[in-house]
Structure formats: structure tokens, C-alpha cells
């Protein structure tokens, strides 16, 4: 139920308590990449002759069960439900019943 662009809160792991925006969702293996969370250093080889190698920071994926969505209306971390309005299905907050 988590989509790209959602704000999420990290529930477990070494990054517990941090919040961030979802950059990528990998549905096949159930993982998400969150901006500024689970950041690792990666050594990059020089691409052209004469260029120096560098160390870059890369956000790695984490299991989708380790994050909870943050409601845009009430600002609390919450579970999501679905409601049908006409022919459209919308995601709703379980706490304030507002649209996520």
C-alpha cells in the first residue's frame, strides 16, 4: 500500500525513529528505498582516464514491514485502510479517517 512519494516513519532497525520520503518501491521483493535512511558509502571507480575515484553515499532498500506511513492530515504514523467513493478506491488513515 506504500507508494513513491509517501512520507514514512521507520519502526524497527538501526534507523528507528527517522522519517523520510519514499524514493522507490520494489514490489517483487517487498522493499522500499527511503530518502536519507539506510545510507551506505560506495566507492566509485573513475569513469574516464585522469578522473579521480570517489566515495558516494547511497540509500539502500529496506523491508516494507519496517516502515509505517505518516498521515498527511493528522501527521501521525498510522495504518491505512481503503474506502470506495463511487468507482474510485482511496487510501484512508485508520486514526483520523482522512485521505492519505
Give me the number of domains the chain comprises: 1
Whether residue 56 is contained in a domain is answered as yes
pLDDT tens figures, 40-90: 999 999 988 989 999 999 999 999 999 999 998 888 899 999 898 889 998
pLDDT classification of 100: cutoffs 50, 70, 90:
confident
Pairing of strands 54-59, 61-63: unpaired
pLDDT tens figures, 78-93: 999 989 888 999 889 9
Whether residue 40 is contained in a domain is answered as yes
Whether residue 81 is contained in a domain is answered as no
Using DSSP's 3-state secondary structure scheme, residue 72 falls into: coil
Whether residue 59 is contained in a domain is answered as yes
Give the domain CATH number at 43.
Answer: 2.30.30.30
* Domain ranges, residue 45: 7-70
Q: Residue 1: pLDDT above 90?
A: no
What pTM, to 2 d.p., does this model score?
0.82
Whether residue 80 is contained in a domain is answered as no
Amino acid at each position: 500500500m506504500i507508494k513513491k512519494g509517501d512520507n514514512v516513519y521507520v519502526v524497527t532497525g538501526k534507523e528507528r525513529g527517522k522519517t523520510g520520503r519514499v524514493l522507490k518501491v520494489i514490489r517483487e521483493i517487498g522493499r522500499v528505498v527511503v530518502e536519507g535512511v539506510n545510507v551506505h558509502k560506495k566507492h566509485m571507480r573513475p569513469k574516464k582516464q585522469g578522473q579521480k575515484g570517489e566515495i558516494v553515499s547511497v540509500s539502500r532498500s529496506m523491508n516494507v514491514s519496517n516502515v509505517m506511513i505518516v498521515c498527511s492530515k493528522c501527521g501521525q504514523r498510522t495504518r491505512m485502510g481503503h474506502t470506495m467513493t463511487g468507482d474510485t478506491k482511496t487510501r484512508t488513515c485508520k486514526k483520523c479517517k482522512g485521505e492519505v
